[in-house]
Amino acid sequence: MERKPPESRQGLSHREVPRVVGLLLTMALLNALLYLCLDQFFSSPRRSTEGPRPCPHGYFKMGQMRNCSPWLSCQELRTEVRQLKCVGEGAVKRVFLSEWKERKVALSRLTSPEMKDDFLHGLQMLKSLQSKHIVTLLGYCEEDNTILTEYHPLGSLSNLEETLNLSKYQNVNTWQHRLQLAMDYVGIINYLHQSPLGTRVMCDSNDLPKTLSQYLLTSNFSIVANDLDALPLVNHSSGVFVKCGHRELHGDFVAPEQLWPFGEHTAFHDDLMPSYDEKIDIWKIPDVSSFLLGHVEGSDMVRFHLFDIHKACKSQTAAERPTAQDILDTYQKVLNSLGDAVPSQTREML
Ligand SMILES: Nc1ncnc2c1ncn2[C@@H]1O[C@H](COP(=O)(O)OP(=O)(O)OP(=O)(O)O)[C@@H](O)[C@H]1O
Ligand SMILES: [Mg+2]
C-alpha cells in the first residue's frame, strides 16, 4: 500500500493557515510601526522649524484651530465676543482680555477720538504685515473702533524679568533662550525694515520701557510685535525719511540724529528738525538685546561676544551702522559657536 505523503510537504494544514495569516499580520503591523517611528524621527525636527502653514490674507488660525477662519466682522465682534477685564492701556488703545468661542482673545478699543489716525494706521499695518513676527489679527470693526487679536497671557516684554523669575520658568531662564529672544527681536526689526510695505521704522520706541511694551511674549517664549501704530515709511531712492513724533527727544536711548541738533540756546522747532531713516532702530538694538539677555549665568559671556556688532550699532554715523540682517547673522553665529556650552565652561571662555 502506497503511503500518503504528509500534508505538510504538499501544502498547509488547516491548522497552520491561521498561524501563517497571524504571522503575516504581525509583520505588517511591525512594518507600519517601524514606518511611523522612522517618519517621526526624520521629519519632526523639520516640521517644528517650518511652523504651521500661514493662512491666506483675511483669514487667521490660532492655538489648536485646524482650519483658517475669516477675520471676524463688526457683527460677529459685537455678538460673539465677551469683554472680561482690562489688561493693558496705552495712549491709543485700551486692551481687554475677552472671550470668543471659549477662547481667550484680546479686544483693543480706541481710547480717544484724537488718536483715531494712529489707531487706523496700526490696523492697516496689522492687516498687511501678518506673519510669524506679528501678533495674529482675528478681526476688526472700524465703525466701533475695535481690533481683535490673539491673547498672550504672558503679556508684554515689560514683564519678562518677572515671568522668567517664576520657578516654573527656570528651565527657560538660560542665556540660550534669552539670546533666542534677542534673535526674535532683531528678526522683527529686520522684517519691518524689509517688509512687504517697504522699509518701516518702529517709531513708538523713545525709551526702553516704551519699546518693550510694544512686543508680546508668547507662551512658547518667542516674541511678536503687537503695537504697529507708528510705523512710518522710509524710501531711500525717492528721498523719503521719517520723524518719530513732533516733539523734542532727549536721552541716549534714541539715536543721536533724533536729538535737536542746534544746541540748547536755539528753541526746538519741528519744521527745522531734520528727518532720519531706519538706522534709528539699529541704534536701539544693543539696549533691548542687553535687557533680553538679562543677568543669568552666561549672559555676560554672550554680551562679550556681541561687543563688536553692538559697538557698530552705536556708530554716530547712521549709515555706518549694520543692517538688522547683519546683526541677526552675527547673533546666529554666536549661538552656533557657543552651542550648548555649560555655564562653568563658558566662564573659562571669557
Ligand atoms: N494681545 C495681547 N495679549 C496680551 N496683552 C496685550 C495684548 N495686546 C496688548 N496687550 C497689553 O496692552 C498694552 C497696551 O497695548 P498697546 O501697546 O497696543 O496699546 P497702545 O495704546 O497702542 O500703546 P502706546 O501708548 O504705545 O501707543 C501692551 O503693552 C500689553 O501689556
Ligand atoms: Mg503700545
User: C-alpha cell of 207?
Assistant: 525709551
Task: Please state the pTM of the whole predicted model.
Answer: 0.85
Number of domains in the chain: 2
> Among the atoms of ligand 1, which is closest to the Cα of residue 204?
26
312 and 222 co-located in one domain: yes
Do 168 and 312 belong to one domain?
A: yes
Which of 150, 170, 188 is at the close of a domain?
Answer: 150
One domain, residues 244 and 139: no
107 and 192 in a single domain? The answer is no
CB of 62 shorter than 6 A to ligand 1: no
Question: Is the pLDDT reported for residue 22 higher than 70?
Answer: no
Comparing 246 with 20, the larger pLDDT belongs to 246
Among candidate residues 150, 171, 200, the one where a domain is terminated: 150
Q: What percent of the chain has pLDDT over 70?
A: 82
> In this structure, are 252 and 307 located in the same domain?
yes
258 has pLDDT over 90: yes
Range of weakest confidence among 58-62, 64-68, 232-236, 346-350: 346-350
What's the gap in Å between 231 CA and the centre of ligand 2? Answer: 12
Task: Report yes or no on 38 lying in a domain.
Answer: no
pLDDT of 347 > 50? The answer is no
Clarify whether residues 241 and 113 are in a common domain: no
The number of beta carbons lying within 10 Å of the beta carbon of residue 150 is 20
Ligand nearest to the CA of 155: 1
For the domain that residue 208 is a member of, what is the CATH number? Answer: 1.10.510.10
**Is 78 a member of any domain?**
yes
pLDDT of residue 41: 35
What is d(CA 311, CA 85) in angstroms, rounded to the nearest whole number?
43
In the predicted structure, residue 67 carries a pLDDT above the cut 70: yes
Q: Report residue 68's pLDDT band, with 50, 70 and 90 as the boundaries.
A: very high
List C-alpha distances in Å: 23 to 7, 19, 20, 45, 182: 20, 6, 5, 34, 56
Task: Kindly write down the DSSP assignment for every residue of 112-181, as one continuous string.
Answer: -GGGHHHHHHHHHHHHH--STTBPPEEEEETTTTEEEEE--TT-BGGGHHHHHHSGGGGGG-SHHHHHHH
Residue 33 has a pLDDT of 45
For the Cβ of 312 lying below 6 angstroms from any atom of ligand 1, the answer is no
C-beta of 299 in contact with ligand 1 (< 6 A): no
Q: The C-alpha cell of 40 is what?
A: 517621526
Domain span holding position 254 = 157-349
266 lies in the same domain as 212: yes
Determine if ligand 1 sits within 6 Å of the CB of residue 129.
no
- Asked if the structure places residue 8 within a domain, the reply is no
Q: How far apart are CA 242 and CA 257, in angstroms?
A: 11
Output the domain CATH number for residue 96: 3.30.200.20
Each residue's pLDDT tens digit, 175-225: 999 999 999 999 999 999 999 999 999 999 999 999 999 999 999 999 999
pLDDT at 339: 78
User: Pocket of ligand 1, candidates 81, 85, 87: which has the most ligand atoms within 8 Å of its Cβ, to mutate?
Assistant: 87
- Mean pLDDT estimate for the chain: 88
Look at residue 308 and tell me whether its pLDDT is greater than 90: yes
Q: 138 φ, ψ to 5°?
A: -110, -20
Q: Is 156 in the pocket of ligand 1 (CB under 6 A)?
A: yes
> 105, 126, 150 — which closes off a domain?
150
Task: Point out the ligand 1 atom lying closest to the alpha carbon of residue 229.
Answer: 22
Asked whether residue 44 carries a pLDDT value surpassing 80, the answer given is no
